[in-house]
A and B are shown apart, each in its own frame.
Chain A
Amino acid sequence: MANVNKLFNQGKNSPMQVLADAGGKIVGKTRFQKIAYLLSEAGLLEGYDFEYHHYGPYSDDLSSSLKFASLFDELKEEERKTDWGGYYSIFSLPESEGDKIEVNQNRSKFIKPMLNISSIVLELAATAAFLAKANDNPDDFDPWEKTRELKPDKATPDRLDKAKKLYKKILSVKTPRQLPKIA
């Protein structure tokens, strides 16, 4: 059998380690992508390139890693139907694997505020961070306003407010790299 470990990132950069640091479960592909993006920007995760997609920062590498890790039973992806008509995924570690991975406490602290908040709010926060980083003139640019322009259906005043509060929380965690100071 070929060495299938080459199909997905390993060790501290593996999707399984992110899951372990998140307490063993992450609900939603969008949530997984945005957590991984903010971890990467904070210098807590390596090996994934992110681009701007319809749902904000997105990594093809992460999507592929999740697909292969699930295919070879390193993690579980369960699909469920939503009440709005679509399907969403729940990622978790197999019971046999969960205890084998040592949790990184700093990453765990960073991820925690992103686990139980609305995925829409998390998407807005990650999008604002992405736009702030991509813009050359940070002083003349309001990433939250731009987020509102790009996502008029999602960026209600209430959600934007929650997104800023969320962002403030994760900014307060000490990380190897400083996230854009936009909240």
Chain B
Amino acid sequence: MVFNPQRIRDPIHNIIGFEGNQFENMLWELINTRPFQRLRRVKQLGFSDLVYPGATHSRFAHSVGVFHIARRMMKIIETHLRSKNEFQEAQAQHALAAALLHDVGHGAFSHAFETVGKRLNIEMAKHETVSKKLILDSEIADCLKKMGAGFHKDVADVIDDDVSATLYSAVISSQFDADRLDYIQRDRMMCGTGHGAIDFEWLVENIQVGEVQFGVDEERVGKQQTFVIGPKAIAAAETFVFGLFQLYPTVYFHKTTRGAEKLFTELLVRVIELSGNGRSARTGLPENHPLVQFANDSDSIDNVLCLDDSVVWSALHLLADSEDELIASFSDRLRRRKLYKVIDVREEFRKQEKDEDALDKSCAQMKIKIEEWARKDSSPFPRILVDDCKRSPYKEYKEEKGPLNQINVLDNGDLRDLRDVSDVVKAIKDFKAFRVYVDDDDQEAKKFTNDAIREI
């Protein structure tokens, strides 16, 4: 059988080729399935284009980029294992197919949709659940089975957190995985920001396979093979960690983007609650709208696949005419980009020269005060929206993490954690934010917030 090679032009990687063999032909077929094509309509960064107009890139482009990097990293594994005659072609293919498919289950506005699902206890709002279901039972599964009857199950195992990690799965799940190495480059470029640049070529050139120790609590379990870096890439690894440190506040947790996500979350929670309770007419949406269909049967994979960013954006005009005050107000705010205004509470506390522990305590107390205030408030929709978030660009090796989250540097045959060889990485703190969002005209909510900051 003859298989035709294929090519895609990509703004980060230029030409991404699919070779004319059975495996990569099958991957090309995966790309042409309905679930994968749907990723063209799920933006990688959700609402970030409200801040950075260029950030309209899709999970489709990112997924293809992840596959491209994963294939390159797999060559490192292949070289390492072939020298010992231990390379397993089938396991490599499972991991590469998983790299391409790792985001296929993302919902509209990705992580913001997952927050909605968490509030309403909807299992099919979790992208891992949907990805697994699509890989095991959909036209994606049919494609994967062309490589063998159980191939789809092996691919599902690679993206399943429940299943023990392997060296092969490190290409999509480790500190230097293809996912991170693609998004850190793509997101900064599409945002147009100068922050977060990494020395990608030098980093990949210096990635090797090593064996790192892991344990449970104080007890050693054994060693696990994963990616490590050579000593000449310490500066490149520092830049990578520093890049994340810069992109958290400036892109991923930008105050305006998060403000839009907060409105979106409240809006969708209300739409799904009303629709699921047989009151969809109040939402302004017709019975056959994908959001209403999803609210009525979230277990249906077809209902999940009908939802994407464009469905939500186009629904805003109908929702703005809703009888429900929250739905009408928040959908109109989103379409006009008239968001609630931010009060950066943690920064206000920081101005009082509090240390990190005192800041954490003050923010925790503020959260309780806001909850108490909201409980007494009789408004039909929330007047104070809270954003309480934390991310670690790089942390010491804690027991609950696992060896794949560390960057290990090969130093004269020994492995050393990047924190132990880099003062700058050791000095990097967690990114933490505690912000509240209020309507700029809501003087009462603003006064309450500012008074509470002074009192705590």
Residues of chain A at the chain B interface (Cβ within 8 Å): 1-4, 6-7, 27-31, 52-55, 68, 71-72, 80, 82-89, 118-120, 123, 150-154
Q: When the two chains form their complex, are residues B222 and A150 in contact, meaning their CB atoms are under 8 A apart?
A: no
Q: How far is the CA of A4 from the CA of B362 in the complex (A)?
A: 10
B361 CB contacts on chain A under 8 angstroms: 4, 71-72
Task: Report chain A residues within 8 Å CB of B220.
Answer: 82-84
Chain A contacts for B360, CB-based, 8 A: 71
Which residues does chain B contribute within 8 Å of A52, judged by CB atoms? 162
Q: Is B451 an interface position by the 8 A CB rule?
A: no
What 1/0 mask marks residues of chain B from 354 to 386 whose CB sits below 8 Å from any chain A CB?
A: 000100110011101101100000000000000
Question: Contact partner of A86 among B163, B222, B366, B399, CB < 8 A?
Answer: B399
Within 8 Å of chain A (Cβ to Cβ): is B164? Answer: yes
Q: Is the CB of A150 within 8 A of B364?
A: no
In the complex the two chains form, is B456's CB within 8 Å of A30's CB? no
Q: Which of B136-144, B210-218, B294-302 participates in binding chain A?
A: B210-218
B residues contacting the other copy or chain, number (CB 8 A): 35
Q: Which residues of A contact B397 (CB under 8 A)?
A: 85-87
Closest CB in chain A relative to B24 CB, distance in Å: 30
Closest to B396 in A: A87
Q: Which residues of B contact A2 (CB under 8 A)?
A: 364-366, 368-369, 372, 456
Contact present for B213 and A84 (CB under 8 Å) = yes
Residues of B within 8 A of A150 (CB): 162-164
CB distance from A131 to the nearest CB of B (A): 10
Bound complex: CA A53 to CA B396 (Å): 20
B368 adjacent to A120 (CB under 8 Å)? no
Q: Give A65 Cβ to nearest chain B Cβ, in Å.
A: 12
Residues of B within 8 A of A72 (CB): 361, 364
A27 to B212, CA, bound (A): 23
Q: Is the CB of B221 within 8 A of A30?
A: no
**How many angstroms from the CA of A110 to the CA of B456 in the assembled complex?**
41
A120 to B219 CA separation, bound complex (whole angstroms): 8
Give Cα distance in the complex from A119 to B371, angstroms.
38
Q: Output the residue of B164, B218, B360, B364 with the most chain A CB within 10 A.
A: B218
Contact with A along B109-139 (1 / 0, CB 8 A): 0000000000000000000000000000000
Binding site for A on B (CB under 8 A): 161-164, 212-222, 224, 357, 360-361, 364-366, 368-369, 371-372, 396-402, 417, 456
Chain B residues near A120: list those with CB within 8 A.
216, 219, 221
Instruction: Provide the residues of chain A in CB contact with B221, threshold 8 Å.
Output: 84, 120, 153-154
- Smallest CB–CB gap between A25 and chain B, Å? 13
The CA-CA distance from A84 to B216 in the complex, in Å, is 10
Interface of chain B, helix or strand or loop or mixed? Answer: mixed
Q: Which of A1, A80, A89 contacts B365 (CB 8 A)?
A: A1
Q: Smallest CB–CB gap between B200 and chain A, Å? A: 28
Select from chain B the residue with minimum beta-carbon distance to A58: B400
CB distance from A38 to the nearest CB of B (A): 16
B364 and A27 form a contact (CB under 8 A): no
Contact residues in B for A151 (Cβ distance below 8 Å): 164
Chain B residues within an 8 Å CB radius of A6: 368, 371
Known contacts A1-B456, A30-B400, A71-B361, A88 near B368 by CB under 8 Å: no
Question: How close is A141's CB to chain B, nearest CB, in angstroms?
Answer: 15
A30 contact set on B, CB distance < 8 A: 216-217, 399-400
Taken together as a complex, chains A and B put the C-alpha atoms of A6 and B365 apart, in Å, by 10
Q: How many angstroms from the CA of A3 to the CA of B399 in the assembled complex?
A: 31
Q: Determine if B399 and A88 form an interchain contact, defined as CB atoms under 8 angstroms apart.
A: yes
In Å, the complex CA distance between A90 and B223 comes to 24
What 6 pairs across the A-B complex have the smallest Cβ distances? A28-B217, A119-B217, A2-B368, A84-B220, A2-B365, A86-B397
Which residues in A have their C-beta under 8 angstroms from that of B366?
A: 2
Q: What residues of A have a CB within 8 angstroms of the CB of B218 in the complex? A: 27-28, 80, 82, 88, 119
Shortest B404–chain A CB gap in Å is 10
Minimal Cβ-Cβ distance residue in A for B224: A153
The answer to whether B217 touches A53 (Cβ under 8 A) is: no
Minimum distance in angstroms from A123 CB to a CB of chain B: 6
- Which residues of the partner chain B approach A71 to less than 8 Å between Cβ atoms? 357, 360-361, 364
Contacts of A29 in B (CB 8 A): 217, 399-400
CA distance A118 to B216 in the complex (A): 9
What separation, in Å, do the CA atoms of A54 and B366 have in the docked complex? Answer: 33
Residue of B nearest to A1 (CB): B365
CB pair A119–B216 under 8 Å, yes or no, is: yes
A86 partner residues in chain B, CB cutoff 8 A? 214-215, 396-399, 401
Docked CA distance A151–B222 (Å): 12
Which residues of chain B are near A82, meaning CB under 8 Å? Answer: 215, 217-220, 399
A154 and B368 form a contact (CB under 8 A):
no
A154→B369 contact, CB < 8 A = no
Chain B residues positioned under 8 Å from A3 (CB to CB): 368
A to B CB contacts below 8 Å, 26 in the list: A2-B366, A2-B368, A2-B369, A2-B372, A4-B364, A28-B217, A28-B399, A30-B216, A54-B161, A54-B402, A55-B400, A72-B364, A82-B219, A84-B214, A84-B220, A84-B221, A85-B212, A85-B213, A86-B401, A87-B399, A88-B217, A88-B399, A118-B219, A119-B216, A119-B218, A120-B216
Query: B365 — which chain A residues lie within 8 A by C-beta?
Result: 1-2, 4
How far apart sit A27 and B215, CA to CA, in the bound complex (Å)?
Answer: 14
Known pairs A4-B361, A85-B397. 18 more at Cβ < 8 A? Answer: A4-B368, A27-B217, A28-B217, A30-B216, A82-B215, A82-B218, A82-B219, A82-B399, A85-B212, A85-B213, A86-B397, A86-B398, A88-B218, A119-B216, A120-B219, A150-B162, A150-B163, A153-B164
CA distance A118 to B215 in the complex (A): 11
Report the separation of the CA atoms of residues A7 and B366 in the bound assembly, to the nearest whole angstrom. Answer: 11
